[in-house]
Chain A
Amino acid sequence: MPAVQETIEQVRNIDVDQYKYGFETLIETDKAPKGLNEDIIRLISAKKDEPEWMLEWRLEAFRRWKTMSEPTWARVSYPEIDFQDIHYYAAPKSTAGPTSLDEVDPELLRTYEKLGIPLKEQEILAGVRKQGEPSELDAIDGNGGRKVAVDAVFDSVSVVTTFKKELAAAGVIFCSISEAIREHPDLVRKYLGTVVPTSDNYYATLNTAVFTDGSFVYVPKGVRCPMELSTYFRINEKNTGQFERTLIIAEEGAYVSYLEGCTAPQRDENQLHAAVVELIALDDAEIKYSTVQNWYPGDKDGKGGIYNFVTKRGDCRGRNSKISWTQVETGSAITWKYPSCILRGDNSQGEFYSIAVSNGHQQIDSGTKMLHLGKNTVSRIISKGISAGKSNNTYRGQVSVHRKATNARNFTNCDSLLIGNDCGAHTVPYIEAKNATAKLEHEATTSKISEDQLFYVMQRGIPEEEAIALIVNGFVKEVIQELPMEFAVEAQKLIGISLEGSVG
């Protein structure tokens, strides 16, 4: 059986079983009451059977959070969030659920159809790392047998992790963070919160207090993780915040490639998603983290959609370590996200490749921080923003070279493309050098799709919307190439879909 098929089968089997029995017996209520207080946090911790230190950590974060205020510096605007009007814990129900086609929003189904993702939930899961179109054109081969292990997080809870045994044989731990807290408390305690500290920022602190699940990856010394790891996040419940927490540790000389996919059905209300992702790369280790974010962006009039307030940070703690972020952001009503690298180890490298597509009333404020602390550290930022409709799309990035970071290098390229005259494209870089040996290069451009190019492509019989998608996909190619093949195909299609209706 081909590996991908195998994954599908595994998900299919486990999925149904776990929904039916696993959680039903484990938890009494499937949804905590709305609101946030210490009792809710105690409840979350109790549901997860967490050790005392974990509860204490959460409570401390909550107490800090109460003294903090929401950041206002990003170029996004939204009505005040009532944090007491959110459910902070929801486990998947055993009945109904997203597998029933009738309950899935037709708009979302249409999207899945276009993506070539089968309709049933488990098949949607399969779609996340579905093999791409035949790839003769790109002369890419050898991907046919590639395996992808999946951790699926629905609402607040990780429902399934595949390929666990095979990974365990290689010494790789891949499980939900809840399980890791129970099964590998020493590892979690050693690393959790060391990259994004408790009081880092408003949303991260909130996450620390209330996170319900997420993924945990540990790749031991010298191990090259034998397959891609993937987490699939989905928000189903109404009025439910999703606060996942992901922690990835690559020990000395280890390598792991991790993929993250996100979707949510259409809801009239805005839903809050505030994740924290921490990556730690020790000496000679490499972590590649790819995201295709397709949370529900809201309807044509800007109603509904996900508020995506995410803190992602990688710590190149060891010498010669490398962390690479690649993101394709097409969803969410509001995106507030800056996957960053702390280049602490000498000779460490940080990369940020980003495509951010905004249409309709979407607001994106995203970018990265590259903090050069170690010697001979190198960072590279390639950001491609596409604004259409009435959206606003901001790149915000910081490159900072500290006093002792000799021979630091950065190259930044931010290109923005505007489609139509009701949208905005903004570039806000912060470039800071405190060492004379630093070499920082930043370039940015903003332009529209050239009429000449569009005419040329259409002259070959390609209709306008497809022609635009084709040109845009060319514009973002440099970033698409950084994605694993499975994601690259999906990402290209998503970009096309996101831009639908952008041409008058």
Chain B
Amino acid sequence: MNLHATPQMTAAEQALVDTYGQLFSDLPGDTAVVVRRDEAVEALKSGLPTRRVEAWHYTDLRRLLSAVPAFDPALQAKEQPALVSGATVLPVLSGRATSVPRVDGVAIQRVFDRLSDGSIAPQLFDGDAVDAIGAINTAFVGDGYALDIAEGAEIAKPIEVQNLHEGGQAHVRFAARAGRNSRATIVERQTGAGEALVSAVSHITVEDGADLTWIILQEQPDEATFLGQTNIEIGADAKLTLFFMNAGGRLVRQEVKVAVAGEGSEFVLRGVNLLAGETHCDVTMVLDHEAANTVSTEVIRNVVTDKAKGVFQGQIRVARDAQKTDAKMACNTLLLTDEGEFSAKPELEIFADDVACGHGATVTEIDQGHLFYLMARGIDEKTARGLLVRAFLAEVIEDLDNEALVEALEEKLTAWFATHG
């Protein structure tokens, strides 16, 4: 995995390899899956990526992943109430998908079964040298949910997939296919308690004309490492709205890989990173415009306080055939402490000439003019700052056109400020 030969495995690398030895006889999978698992472990043996690997420039996984807690089968997480009431909950508790409820218009399957019959194998680690998350997840994944939304189905209530743990290790996978002209909202929850290594990989396919909203709410405990990866393919005239909120974890890497593959399709990304304590949070997006007349907009807002470190890497690639691409990306950061850090790498890689692409990135402190204005109205500085920071983030959340979701996420915001404000 590491492009440079590593003479000796780190403790974490050794622990990962050992975990595989411990688990592999219990892991589900046919031959195709086992082959991929073995490849993934080989990749891990050759070392986790360091900052010399460009995709991991700001997150030296080899150095930062200092320890890997042991897998403990005795720990059992409990289901949580849904983010918005009325949602259908699909819980994965300590790595096990425990119930398969019925939802009209959606065929739901356990990933355990798809591993066992090998049908999920093509989505597993394929040897990509920088795909450390794919490798870790492939090595250990045991369960999760696969959702198949029927053509033309309009799923009124959100479906919420939960990945919950009580420490140790949890490796899950979600797959979703939104059939032609279907509409649905899916919430992905990532949380738990205690020291943990969590990996979660999703594959989302939005077929022609479908409109899917996917919300990721990550609230890992302070001791957890969270490695997330969302793979997206969008068909013709289809739309995917991806929203994420990172509000926890010690070491977080959230990868988003998007193929805007069908003509006339649209991708919307809105993200909020709430970074406090000693969090190191890295959001890395690679967005490929592969077809003509496609649109994408990304707005990422970050608040960094305490000794937290934030990273946003956003790469927009426009293929030669993707004429009339309209791609806009913005990453704005409020850096509130001198111990905090934020690094942004917004990249454009453009091969089609008839395009309008742009990105903006800012790192600033709170606007002194705004602050003064509020204080001149008698609001004390602390409250005024809180109001402004909150407004800065709420703007992005309010872009979602689902009131219940906006409300629920704003509550999360309030809760975060109550502990970190």
Contacts and interface: CB of A to CB of B under 8 A. Distances in A.
A contacts B directly (C-beta below 8 A): yes
Interface of A: 73, 401, 403, 416, 418-448
B358 A426 contact: no
B365 A439 contact: yes
B342 interface: yes
Instruction: Enumerate the 9 nearest inter-chain pairs by beta-carbon distance, A residue then B residue, closest first.
Output: A418-B353, A445-B358, A433-B363, A427-B348, A442-B361, A431-B344, A440-B363, A432-B343, A446-B357
Nearest to B348: A427
A124 to B, nearest CB: 35
Contacts of B364: 438-441
Interface string B342-371: 111111111111111111111111000000
A436 B320 CA distance: 40
Nearest to A408: B363
Given A416-B350, A419-B353, A427-B348, A438 B358 contact: no
A427 B347 contact: yes
Contacts of A425: 348, 350
Contact of A433 (B341, B346, B357): B341
Contacts of A441: 360-362, 364
B350 A436 contact: no
Interface string B75-89: 000000000000000
Contacts of A403: 338
A158 to B, nearest CB: 39
B340 to A, nearest CB: 7
A428 B345 contact: yes
Nearest to B333: A433
Nearest to A396: B347
Given A428-B345, A429-B346, A431-B345, A436 B353 contact: no
Contact of A426 (B333, B350, B363): B350
A416 B348 contact: yes
Interface in B153-183: none
A477 to B, nearest CB: 20
Contacts of A448: 353-355
B98 interface: no
Given A433-B335, A433-B342, A435-B338, 8 more contacts: A424-B351, A430-B343, A434-B338, A434-B340, A441-B364, A443-B359, A444-B360, A446-B350
Interface in B359-388: 359-365
Contacts of A73: 54
A421 B362 contact: no
Contacts of A434: 338, 340-341
Given A434-B338, A438-B335, A439-B364, A444 B353 contact: no
Nearest to B366: A436
B348 A444 contact: yes
Nearest to A428: B347
Query: Which of B349, B350, B355, B359 lies at the interface centre, i.e. has the most chain A CB atoms within 10 A of its CB?
Result: B350
B314 to A, nearest CB: 11
Interface in B277-322: 320
Given A416-B350, A448-B355, A440 B343 contact: no
Contacts of A432: 341-344
B352 A431 contact: no
A431 B343 contact: yes
A448 B350 CA distance: 11
A106 to B, nearest CB: 32
Contacts of B150: none
Contacts of A446: 348, 350, 355-358
Contacts of B365: 436-439
24 contacts: A73-B54, A418-B350, A418-B352, A418-B355, A421-B354, A426-B348, A429-B344, A429-B347, A430-B343, A431-B345, A431-B346, A432-B342, A435-B338, A436-B335, A438-B335, A438-B363, A439-B365, A440-B361, A441-B360, A441-B362, A442-B362, A443-B359, A447-B355, A448-B354
A429 B335 CA distance: 19
A443 B349 contact: no
Nearest to A73: B54
A212 to B, nearest CB: 33
Contacts of B349: 424, 426
Nearest to B352: A421
Contacts of A439: 362-365
Nearest to A439: B364
Contacts, number: 118
Contacts of B6: none
A426 B54 CA distance: 16
Contacts of B343: 430-433
Nearest to B332: A441
B345 A429 contact: yes
A447 B359 CA distance: 12
Contacts of A401: 363
B337 interface: yes
Contact of A442 (B340, B357, B360): B360
A442 B331 CA distance: 10
A386 to B, nearest CB: 12
A117 B23 CA distance: 76
Contacts of B358: 443-446
B335 A426 contact: no
B353 A423 contact: yes
Contacts of A447: 355-357
Contacts of B15: none
A441 to B, nearest CB: 5
A369 to B, nearest CB: 14
A398 to B, nearest CB: 9
Nearest to A412: B361
B336 interface: yes
Interface string B52-78: 001001000000000000000000000
A106 B278 CA distance: 64
A419 to B, nearest CB: 7
Contacts of B355: 418, 446-448
A237 B31 CA distance: 63
A447 B349 CA distance: 12
Contacts of B341: 432-434
A232 B364 CA distance: 42
A395 to B, nearest CB: 9
Nearest to A424: B351
A424 B363 contact: no
B296 to A, nearest CB: 14
A434 B58 CA distance: 13
A444 B360 CA distance: 6
B124 to A, nearest CB: 29
Contacts of A420: 353
Nearest to B343: A432
Query: Which of A73, A419, A431 lies at the interface centre, i.e. has the most chain B CB atoms within 10 A of its CB?
Result: A431
A89 B91 CA distance: 72
A422 B350 CA distance: 10
Contacts of B362: 439-442
B333 A442 contact: no
Contacts of A418: 350, 352-353, 355
Nearest to B337: A436
Contacts of B345: 428-431
A432 B345 CA distance: 9
A346 to B, nearest CB: 17
A442 B342 CA distance: 14
Contacts of B359: 427, 442-444
A435 B354 contact: no
